[in-house]
Amino acid sequence: MADPVEIRVRDDGPYKVTGSVRLVDPEGNEIAYDRERPLVLCRCGRSRTKPFCDKAHRETGFESCVRAAAAGSAEP
């Protein structure tokens, strides 16, 4: 059985994806990446290597600290 997929939202940074996933473009073509390493995807929109993170968020001052809502919370 494959490792479960986990998408970790990093404070002020990218999405870090671990586990077996396929990354595809809008036409359905698979985008190659090193499957031996976690997949790190841009969240700030400024990467020069989209969809991959190139740490541009550090230069642009991107800020986002997502937290899960507490169980029973009225927030979406």
- Is residue 48 a part of any domain in this protein? yes
The pLDDT of residue 75 is above 60: no
d(CA 12, CA 65) in angstroms, rounded, equals 6
Sheet bearing 39-41, strands edge to edge: 6-9, 15-18, 39-41
Which residue is it, tokens 């479960």? 4
Determine which helix (DSSP H) or strand (DSSP E) holds 58, and give its type and residue range.
helix 56-60
The pLDDT of residue 57 is above 90: yes
Which domain covers residue 43, as residue numbers? 1-22+30-53+60-68
Instruction: Count the domains in the chain.
Output: 1
- Is residue 74 a part of any domain in this protein? no
- pTM for the whole structure: 0.83
Q: What is the mean pLDDT of residues 34-50?
A: 96
Q: Which residue stretches of 1-76 are H helix?
A: 56-60
